[in-house]
Amino acid sequence: MRPDGQTQPRSRGTLRGGSWHALARLLIAVVLWILAAPATAQPLLVDGRGAVPVWPAVTVLSDPEAVLTPAQAGAAVAQFKRHEGTASNLGRSASTVWLRFPLTVPGSEPVHRVLQIDYPLLHRVDLYHLHDGQIATQARMGSMLPMSERAMQSRTHAAPLVLVPGAHEVLLRVQTQSSMVLPITLRTHEDFTAHESREQLVQGIGLGLALCMLMYSLTQGVGLRDTLFFDYAALVGANVVFTLAYFGIGAQYLWPEFPALSLKVAPMAVMVAVAAGTRFMAAALAVHEISPLIARLLRGVSLGAVLALVATLLDLVDYRTAQTLVTVLGLSTTAMVLPAAYIRARSGERAACYMLFGWAFYTLGAVVTAGLLRGLVEPTFLSQHVYPFSLMIEMAAWMAVLSLRVQAIHRNADRARVETEALRALAQTDALTGLPNRRGLQQHLAAVLPRATPQQLLAVYLLDLDGFKPINDRYGHDVGDALLVAVGQRLQKQLRGGDIVARLGGDEFVVLANGLADEAAAQRVGQKLLSAFDTSFDAAGQHCRVGLTAGYALAPLDGDTADELIKRADAAMYAGKQAGRRQVQRGGRSLAAA
């Protein structure tokens, strides 16, 4: 009512409340009718395209008891429903599944096509091609069939179809203990060949790189005798076997007539990878230094993977249990090792940084693959290959860890060699003067004696200081030690570069002079040594004067062994002492004064 009491005119564009309710009820009824109606798919048009994706026309019927026959499944068209989840992927399913899709072939000539399901791990696929209500083609596929019994001997599940013009229907009965990943494509024979060639090329490149890594690790392991390289080799080898099984290459070329291996190879390869990878990570990160408890747990995981491998070999566990075991063991390893790697990386260790880098890519591949196997990711080329790609990057990153290991081994070897040489030098060197000691003298004699000839004589001088003891008693050991050092230095200055000065102990020195022409040359060297002591020495601030008495023997004239030469030189030296000191005498077969 208007304010003046008259009735307000009704707008033409306005519906009464009852009309709105009626329209809403009608819309709801239409929606419910649509939802309740059987899901029918538009037939696929088989035209000149090389590859026609089938999934847009696929409807699905679950057969939990696996009791439906092809005729019953074909008659139950109204029960087939469109899959509302991820395209081409039903995820994990323990039941048998029927897939249906219609085809339309235009023209007047038959066409030849290949139906391909590009997921090799499906265990059993039965194909029924119906035309005019009759089965025109029947084919068996699946990884549980020997290669000779498959419709086409290829790594994937493929069957040839001859399609005459008109309407067709295809039924697929799928059974598997794995995930129902179903990328179905209708291809021309040329496109199927090209597709498989590209896949074989990709797998060949990956296999070649993996074999290079394998050979590198094995050769380094043998050469360096380091078990870390053998663990890496086992890890790479296991990943290669898993990839060959996952993409059907192994079933096509390695075990074509032993389909039962297809159920075991993939999880067994992962078990080997877990066992070897756990050992590799624990050693590369030196986990025992961070946490002995984690190190023991990792050894337990590695042992558990080996036991799971044995149980799978003996058929004590089924396929799904084996998958669960490797998943739990792999996650346990990662959970325990990641903290250790993080601690090492924070301290700047490059090996840990490389391992974390590899883990990042591996995690990406593992997450995508887990989503694929659980029906959350559509099976495209990238999603199906991301795991082996990420695995290859991880293995390359871990090879960098091996290169660091090689560098560390070489550094340790160099350090050990330097330390050994230093210890050897200390063992052969007089600690006071830095001259060779008795052992060092023996080494030098062993080297030069074989080269001594009557034309190239070796003179062995035994020198004893005259007047050293009174100086040592008067001024003390500090001055005495300083005097011995100065004596050694003065003797070295009188000799050629190849001659040797050694200290036997106390105030006794030995000089080796090789390449002398005759006894006169040896006598001149001895006189030169004697004359060097005409000048006093400055020893710790004290001016000291000492003399020298020397006896020598010539090789090979006076002897051809070190002991014989030193003994005769010593006898000559004592003869010189008795004759009045400050002399040089030869200790020949009969002593003669020089």
- Residue 556 preceded by cis peptide, ω within 30: yes
- Buried b / exposed e across 249-283, counting CB within 10 Å, b at 16+? bbbbeebeeebebbbbbbbbbbbbbbbbbbbbbbb
Rounded CA-CA distance 195/208 in Å is 20
Q: Tell me the Ramachandran region of residue 436: left when phi exceeds 0, alpha when psi lies from -120 to 50, beta otherwise.
A: beta
Task: Kindly state the DSSP code that residue 449 receives in the 8-state scheme.
Answer: G
- Buried b / exposed e across 125-149, counting CB within 10 Å, b at 16+? bbbbbbbeeeebbebbbbbbbebee
From the list 165, 48, 162, 49, the residue with the least C-alpha distance to 105 is 165
Question: Is position 507 annotated as part of the catalytic site?
Answer: yes
The answer to whether 238 and 276 are in contact (CB under 8 A) is yes
Alpha-carbon distances of 318 from 223, 322, 323, rounded to whole Å: 40, 6, 9
From the list 78, 72, 34, the residue with the least C-alpha distance to 59 is 78
From the list 331, 183, 325, the residue with the least C-alpha distance to 264 is 325
For helices 260-284 and 292-313, give the axis angle rounded to 10 degrees.
Answer: 170
- CA triple 22-28-31, angle to 5 deg: 145
The answer to whether 154 and 253 are in contact (CB under 8 A) is no
Rounded CA-CA distance 273/523 in Å is 77
Residue tagged active-site, from 226, 231, 507, 558: 507
Strand-pairing partners, residue 134, are 131
Catalytic positions are 507
